[in-house]
Amino acid sequence: MSLQVPILACRELRWSYGDRVAVDDVSFDIAPGEAFGLLGPNGAGKTTTIKMICGLLPPVAGEIFIAGHRVEGDAIAAKRHLGYVPHELALYTDLTANENMEFFGRMCGLRGKDLTSRVNETLEIVSLHDRAKDLVAEFSSGMQRRLNLAVALIANPTLLVLDEPTVGVDAQSRGAILDRLEELRATGVALLYASHYMEEVERLCNEVGIIDHGKLIAHGTPQQLIASLGGSQRLTLGATGDLGRFVGEVYALPGVGEALIIDGSVRMIVDDAAATIPTVVTIAGRLGVELSAIEIGTDNLEAVFLQLTGRTLRD
Amino acid sequence: MATGGGTRGTARAPVGWWRQVRTLVRRELRQISRDRVALSIAVIAPVAAAMLASVALGAPRQVDATIAIVTPPGTSDAAARAIAAFDSGDFGLRVVATESEARDLVRSGDISAAVVVPVSGDEPMRVIANRSEQIPEAIAYDLARLAQVPGAAGAIGPDSSPAAAVITQPVDRTLGGAELYGHVVAVFFLFLTTGLVARSLHRERTRGTLTRMRVMAVGSDAILASKGIVMVLLGGLEMAAVLLALSAVFGANWGSVVATVVVGVAITLAVGAIALVVATLTRSLELAQVLELLIALTFAALGGNLVPLANLPDAARFIAGLTPNGVAIRAFREVAVGGTLIDVWRSVAVIGGLAFALGWFAFTRARRIVAQ
C-alpha cells in the first residue's frame, strides 16, 4: 500500500437494492499512478461500486473522496478529476470521432485552442487521429472501444475508472488498450480497473481487490494474494462420467484445498500435484470416470478467486 | 506518448448551464441534420401531405358552392346587406327568407350550406350544412362566426352600417384549400417531429451517453432544456416549411405573422410536452415509438386533423375544443381570416397552460430517467 495521498478513497461503502445488499462495507484507496483491479464475477458488486464512485448512485452508507473532494458533497469538484470508461460504448455513432471528442470536451469545459489540441492529443493516444473525421458507426468494435477510452481522457483526468473496457474486443485491440493504460499509469494517472478478465488485471494492476456478494473478500498486491494460497497448485482434469461422485471423493483427499466441476472439467487446488495425481487416477478408474487430460498450473488470481469463493470469475 | 498539457484534473473550467445547453443543442441539431428519416418526417412528408391536401380539397378560386343567407322576418335589411358583403364572387350567395326553405334547399343539394341570421342580435347565428360538402360547410361556419365577432357583429345589427372592410377581406382568405388544411397537416406532423426528439432520451439512456454526461457533471436540467429547445426548433422548422411552401405554391396567406408564430410556438410546446410524457411513461424506444403514433392519431382524430371540424357532430366539435391541436387549428384559422394576437390570446393561454402542466409532469419524470 502506498503512503501517498490517495486520489480515490472509499470508506465503508454500502448499497442495497431493497433487501439485497449489493455492496457491503467496501473500503479501499488508490494513490496517484497506481492501478487497482476490482475482480469479481457478474453481479458481485463491481458496477454498483463504480457507480457510487462516479456519483451515479448515492451510497446508503460510507464516503468517497476523489482528490480530497467528497463525491456526495462536492460532486462537481470531484468529477473534474474523474474520467469514466463505461462498460457499454457511450458514443454518438452518427457523429465523427472528432465531433464526439469535441462535444464531450466542451461539456467538460474545454474550448478554443485547448479543446482542439486536447482532442488531437487524445485521439493520438488511442491511435485514431487518422480516422478523426470518420463516422463512429463506420469503426470496428475495437476502434469504438478505443474511442470510448479517449472520451474519458479528454479532460486529462487524475483518476480513470474503467468498467470492463475490453469486453467484446479482439486480442489486438485489447493489447492496444492495455498498452495505452500502462502508459497513462506511468504518467501518474490512477486507474480503477473492474474486470472479470484476470489476466488483464494481473498485467495492469499493482493492487487487486476481490469482490463477491458485495463484499471485498481479499485485498492486496497480486503477489500477496497468490502467496496467500501457500504455494499450492492448480490441477485441471478433462473428465467424463459420474463427476459429482468423483469430485466428492477427491475433495476428501489430504492436500486438496478445492475441487469443483467447471465447464465440464474438474478443477482442483492441491498442495502437491505430483503426489495427488496417482490417487486421483485410481479413484477415477474405480468410479468409471474417464480422464482425457490432466493439466498442472501454478497459482494465479483465478486460483485465488476459486479458493476464496468457490466460483470462477466468469460465473 | 502524448500526455496532454495543463495540470491534470484542473484543465476544466466550470461549465455554465447555458453553455452546456448550447453545446447539447448544437450536437442534437447536427445529429438530426444527418438523419434522413428525421428530415423526411420534419420537412418532406408534411410539405408533401399539405400540398396534396390543398390540391385534393380544392384551391380557393374553384369552390363550386352556393351559400344561403337566411333572413327571416324580423331581421333587418342591414343584416342581409352585411352578410351579402361576403359575396366575393368565389362562391354563389343566395338570400332565403325562411329557415325551412333553406333546409329544403340544402337537402335537395341546390345550396351547399346556409347561415341563419337570428331575429335578435343577442342570439347566435346557426348553420345548416350538408355534411358531404366540407368546404362550403366550413365557409358557412366562418361566415357565421365572423358575423358574431364583436365589432363585426354590429354589422348585423339594425342600426349599424355594414362593416365590409372588416369582413370581406378575411373571408377571401378563409376560402383557400391550402389555408384550410395547411395548419391541420402541420399540427399533425408536429406530433411526429417532437416525438423524434422525445425518443432520443431513450436512445441516449440505452447508449450510455446520458450516464457519461452525468459523470461529467452535466445536470439533468441542462439535458432536458436542450431537448425542449430542439423540439421547438424542429417543430418550428416543420411548421414554417409547410406554411411557406403553401404560400409559395398556392399563394396562401396566413394572416398576422406574430400571432401565427405565437400560436405555433404554443402548440409546439404542448405537443412536445405530450411526446415527452409518452417517452417518460415507456421503458423502451420501440414502445415509445408505437405509443407516440397511437397518441398522435388519437389527438389528430379528436382535434380535427384527420376529419375537418366542420364535418364533425357537435359533441365531437366540443371534444376538439378540449384538445390542444383542435384549439390551435381554430386559432390558426382565426388568425388567417384576419384575427390578431388579441383575438387568439385565450387559445394561446389554453394551449400554453396545457403545455406547462404536461411539460412539468414530463420534466419531473424525465429527470428521474436521466438520473437512473
CA–CA distance, B51 with B39 (Å, rounded to integer): 17
Q: Beta-carbon neighbour count of residue A122 at 10 Å?
A: 26
ipTM higher than the 0.85 cut: no
CA-based nearest residue in chain B for residue A106 = B23
pLDDT digits (tens, 9 = 90+) for A140-193: 888 998 999 999 999 889 999 999 888 877 788 788 888 888 998 999 999 999
- Mutate: best of B12, B23, B26, B214, partner A, most A CBs <10 A: B12
Closest CA to B182 of B88, B258, B247, B123: B247
Of B2, B23, B30, the CB nearest to A106: B23
CA–CA distance, A183 with A124 (Å, rounded to integer): 13
Q: Do A157 and B13 touch (CB under 8 A)?
A: no
Our CA-based measurement puts residue A33 at a distance from the nearest CA of chain B, in whole angstroms, of 12
Categorize the per-residue pLDDT at A41 as very low, low, confident or very high, splitting at 50, 70 and 90: confident
Q: Do B9 and A122 touch (CB under 8 A)?
A: no
pLDDT digits (tens, 9 = 90+) for A95-117: 999 999 999 999 988 888 999 99
Our CA-based measurement puts residue A39 at a distance from the nearest CA of chain B, in whole angstroms, of 22
Our CA-based measurement puts residue B223 at a distance from the nearest CA of chain A, in whole angstroms, of 11
Q: What is the mean pLDDT of residues A199-209?
A: 89
Residue B164, C-beta contacts closer than 8 angstroms, at least 6 positions apart: B82, B85, B155
pLDDT digits (tens, 9 = 90+) for A259-283: 888 878 898 888 888 888 989 999 9
CA-based nearest residue in chain B for residue A118 = B4
Categorize the per-residue pLDDT at A131 as very low, low, confident or very high, splitting at 50, 70 and 90: very high
pLDDT digits (tens, 9 = 90+) for B214-231: 998 888 889 999 999 999
Residue the block writes with cell 474486470: A195
CA–CA distance, B75 with B122 (Å, rounded to integer): 12
**Region for residue B255 given its phi and psi (left: phi exceeds 0; alpha: psi -120 to 50; beta: otherwise):** left
Categorize the per-residue pLDDT at A8 as very low, low, confident or very high, splitting at 50, 70 and 90: very high
Residues A12 and A25: beta-carbon distance below 8 Å: yes
- What was the pLDDT predicted at A137? 94
Query: Is A55 part of the contact surface with chain B (CB cutoff 8 Å)?
Result: yes
Q: What is the mean pLDDT of residues A230-239?
A: 82
Q: Do B211 and A86 touch (CB under 8 A)?
A: yes
What mean pLDDT, rounded, does chain A reach? 87
Q: What is the mean pLDDT of residues A78-87?
A: 90
Q: Among residues of chain A, what percentage have pLDDT more than 90?
A: 42
Residue B116, C-beta contacts closer than 8 angstroms, at least 6 positions apart: B70, B72, B99, B102, B125, B126, B127, B128
Q: Do B14 and A109 touch (CB under 8 A)?
A: yes
Query: Is B33 part of the contact surface with chain A (CB cutoff 8 Å)?
Result: no
Low-confidence ranges of chain B (pLDDT < 70): 1-14, 57-64, 74-91, 120-122, 130-134, 145-176, 308-312, 372
Query: Is B36 part of the contact surface with chain A (CB cutoff 8 Å)?
Result: no
Q: Do A156 and B208 touch (CB under 8 A)?
A: no
- Mutate: best of B200, B212, B369, partner A, most A CBs <10 A: B212
Q: Do A103 and B207 touch (CB under 8 A)?
A: no
Of B8, B34, B213, the CB nearest to A107: B213
CA distances to B197, B306, B311 from B315, rounded to whole Å, are: 34, 16, 12
- What was the pLDDT predicted at B174? 45
CA–CA distance, B285 with A214 (Å, rounded to integer): 32
| Cα distance from N-terminal residue to C-terminal residue, chain A | 29
Query: Is B315 part of the contact surface with chain A (CB cutoff 8 Å)?
Result: no
Of A79, A80, A156, the CB nearest to B4: A156
CA–CA distance, B315 with B320 (Å, rounded to integer): 9
Closest CA to B252 of B54, B72, B110: B54
β-bridge partners, A239: A291
- What was the pLDDT predicted at B149? 47
- What was the pLDDT predicted at A30? 94
CA-based nearest residue in chain A for residue B27 = A103
pTM of this prediction exceeds 0.95: no
CA–CA distance, A143 with A67 (Å, rounded to integer): 31
Which has the higher per-residue pLDDT, A4 or B207? B207
Residue B114, C-beta contacts closer than 8 angstroms, at least 6 positions apart: B67, B68, B69, B70, B96, B99, B102, B103, B105, B106, B127, B128, B129, B140
CA dihedral B187, B190, B192, B194 (to 10 degrees): -160
Residue A303, C-beta contacts closer than 8 angstroms, at least 6 positions apart: A226, A229, A232, A234, A269, A297
| Cα distance from N-terminal residue to C-terminal residue, chain B | 37
- What was the pLDDT predicted at A270? 84
Q: Do A107 and B207 touch (CB under 8 A)?
A: no
Our CA-based measurement puts residue A243 at a distance from the nearest CA of chain B, in whole angstroms, of 42
Of A75, A117, A156, the CB nearest to B9: A156
What burial class does residue B76 get, using C-beta atoms within 10 Å of its C-beta: 0-12 exposed, 13-18 middle, 19+ buried? middle
Residue B266, C-beta contacts closer than 8 angstroms, at least 6 positions apart: B328, B348, B351, B352, B355
